[in-house]
Chains A and B, each alone.
Chain A
């Protein structure tokens, strides 16, 4: 295969502040009706002295057409799942974002609805949320759930708050001070546990990629509040000892937290609730196809077993004889984690996706995600300079973590360089340097929505890069060259003397 001659669009787009002319406007604000203004005093005279804005905000003055073109240009200088070729960013589940989701989520009967409206006026939305919750509980094998968390990490935090509430209820909050986390965990896990006031204890992974049971036993005890785990883990390997792990933690009175970031591997195959987990979050923007939006909004619903249900956030959505309502009566609830009900606009997209897939379709999505990742892993593990460490000979789940450490040793080409060279071929890079236990990691998650042709293109690109690394490494080390910009000066971006986080600072520094 000959790699395509990709060139990213580059408009050399100025900052919005550098566009426009005095007095131009991009949007006409309606005039105050004369009858209305006659009935009241001049508003600026009513503002208490000293509280009136005297200097207009230093916003740009641009016309509608200039604003539109500016942001369209910038959009063309970006890379998305639906506009690219493949976006195999491991752990992020960058699957196709169906258009029907977007169309339905732009219906005015959701977009223009206020969260404090009379319940009678929002029956459709409450019903959707209620059904989504049931679907989520079904996929995860839990008993109840909250949809409030706005992202995966937010769900993790909520889940840990639930564990904390449980231990407080049993008067063990002062003794149970530790959360156990494997060394392969997502960075959000320890950060969430820390935020909730816990000390984190790391357990190592074995060579087969699973949790080291002896090491686990040595750290579990009466001080254990819980264990956070994703299964399949971040190596893309299913931990066969999951039941034993759950038993070890439960026997000491700890609770099991499932990080559902990797749920896309096992829908309809096995469920966290059946593996022994007490609380689980999942990312609707990963597994359930809602767009990542350049870094959100996502949604991170949290499911729980019965023992934690009474601590779930308020309000709850309940159904009685076909009427849906909000229930605030939950005396042991942890309270609230979001100002309202969470990212409802995102939830509608996930609900739509579930209908498009059905129970059988979700299972097939997982199966094909696993097939696609094994296909890539199989073809890449023998490429010169690459290897597939941990779990020798075992199948991967939805993602596979390759190591470029041999390539690094032999040619000086690192995982970072490989990923930059992929950009030059018009492909998005895998996640790099994660999980931390794999040196020179390239974490590849193709998802089920990539055609085999895209997988092959990615594989060919990796082979081409390997060939270059061993023949003409400079070509890889100098990448990327076909993107809007080459390598950036990260040191300058972070240095106290040159750091520039706003136009205001830019003007002070450079103008």
Chain B
């Protein structure tokens, strides 16, 4: 390139010359003398640019402008949900000192990040009722895969039981983690009226080789599993771990898994202050009880509170690193290195802002809005919402008698609304059903507009 580039201070020809002279080479080419001639890439990489900042800004903005504007947030959930992100969260995660740092390998100069992650771990524990949380996994789905593997390692058994009404996407990711570890995954049936887990079927599937029993609460289809004490008992009677996947927003209202016998809690931390970003970055929650034997099997980073060698001042450091790949290599509990630290920072700020009353109010608001929407949609002719009689938190099924979900969604899309996710392929038994999600970002006006639009679409 001819002109110096703003990101490369030494791209000034005189500087380059001077540096080469110091090293004792005549050209940069000499530094690449180890790269055999026949491997050389002779062309210029076919990548457009370089463009100036203003040009890049215009180019990328106009690309993004090709995405449609909706009249309100999509009525979609299922693993990523529209929630409001307080401005203070974005302010903190854009601080260069956090944003542009890496894993705090040098604890003395990165106490700030270490303390925030310790606070994140602590806040998650308070919310879920658990004792220990790690610094994050990639997302709920990979956390589930790791939880299945950890159950198997801990119990030295190889069966992992999950509900039939699980997110198919999470199920697929989990399989990517379990198939390679020789873990058999079994699915438990559900009660057709309530959606709840069929306890008899669970008992039948339990055997001496059951490593873990997993439920999602709220379930993928939005209802709250209420037989939790029973499920915990069945799991524990079979000497299996009880693993619960959560939407953390529900925990302002719903009893935390730590209070009903969960050994591990996983889930998706995205709604705690992280934007949807078309499905990532997300934040895999991973928490467990305070048993040394369990903690030592955990995947991922753990930040511990300790003190200075001299003077006794409180400080923070990565700990139990002998579980991790950079120390243990092939004997590590997981290969995870980079995780979702900045998303964990966002969630720490979010939970600090909301506090106990904020989480309770938000949880109630979300459930109330969803309840209202569900009732109003269910009142429409030819529509059933929800399919199951259990209590629903923020997601619920909507089933159409005379229309396909695709037709309805197209009609809504023409009105610049995004309807629920079609379940027709994921759960064909449920007919033409969609998974709707309503949160605090959907005002009564938004919901009423959805109802009137649905009515228009259904009336054709």
Contacts and interface: CB of A to CB of B under 8 A. Distances in A.
Nearest to A484: B111
A30 B358 CA distance: 10
Interface string A168-193: 00000000000000000001101111
B110 interface: yes
16 contacts: A15-B118, A25-B357, A57-B251, A58-B356, A71-B95, A104-B64, A111-B277, A122-B67, A124-B65, A125-B64, A190-B325, A240-B35, A297-B280, A341-B280, A351-B60, A364-B5
Interface in A126-162: 127-128, 135, 138-139, 141, 150-154, 156-157, 161
Contacts of A360: 1, 44-45, 50
Given A339-B282, A488-B108, A361 B49 contact: yes
Scoring A78, A334, A339, A505 by chain B CB atoms within 10 A of each residue's CB, the highest score goes to A339
Contacts of A378: 22-24
Contacts of B208: none
B173 A339 contact: yes
A429 B340 CA distance: 23
A51 interface: yes
A295 B135 contact: yes
B166 to A, nearest CB: 12
B343 A153 contact: no
B19 A371 contact: yes
Given A17-B122, A187-B329, A501-B303, 11 more contacts: A27-B353, A50-B255, A60-B355, A96-B7, A114-B76, A120-B68, A240-B36, A268-B41, A292-B338, A452-B9, A483-B109
B365 A30 contact: yes
Nearest to B128: A57
Q: Which 10 A-B pairs have the closest CB atoms?
A: A340-B279, A358-B49, A115-B279, A293-B342, A359-B45, A124-B66, A78-B112, A295-B341, A26-B353, A451-B9
Contact of B100 (A76, A83, A195): A83
Interface in B338-385: 338-343, 345, 348-349, 351-362, 364-365, 367-369, 371-372, 375-376
B317 interface: yes
Given A80-B99, A124-B66, A26 B88 contact: yes
B76 A117 contact: yes
Contacts of A499: 292, 295, 304, 319-320
Nearest to A58: B126
A343 interface: yes
Contacts, number: 722
Interface in A56-95: 56-62, 64, 67-68, 70-83, 87, 89, 92, 94-95
A407 B106 CA distance: 21
Contact of A25 (B115, B116, B358, B375): B358
B157 interface: no
B127 interface: yes
Nearest to A64: B88
Contacts of B348: 16, 71
B82 A238 contact: no
Contacts of A485: 107-108, 111, 308, 313, 315
Nearest to A127: B63
A24 B91 CA distance: 21
A107 interface: yes
Contact of B35 (A161, A238, A356): A238
Interface stretch (A31-39, A214-222, A462-470): A31-39
A362 B94 contact: no
B356 A374 contact: no
Contacts of B229: 50
A193 B103 CA distance: 23
Contacts of A449: 7-9
A118 B413 contact: yes
Contact of B352 (A70, A342, A428): A70
A117 B74 contact: yes
B253 A74 contact: no
A492 interface: yes
Interface in A206-256: 237-238, 240, 242-243
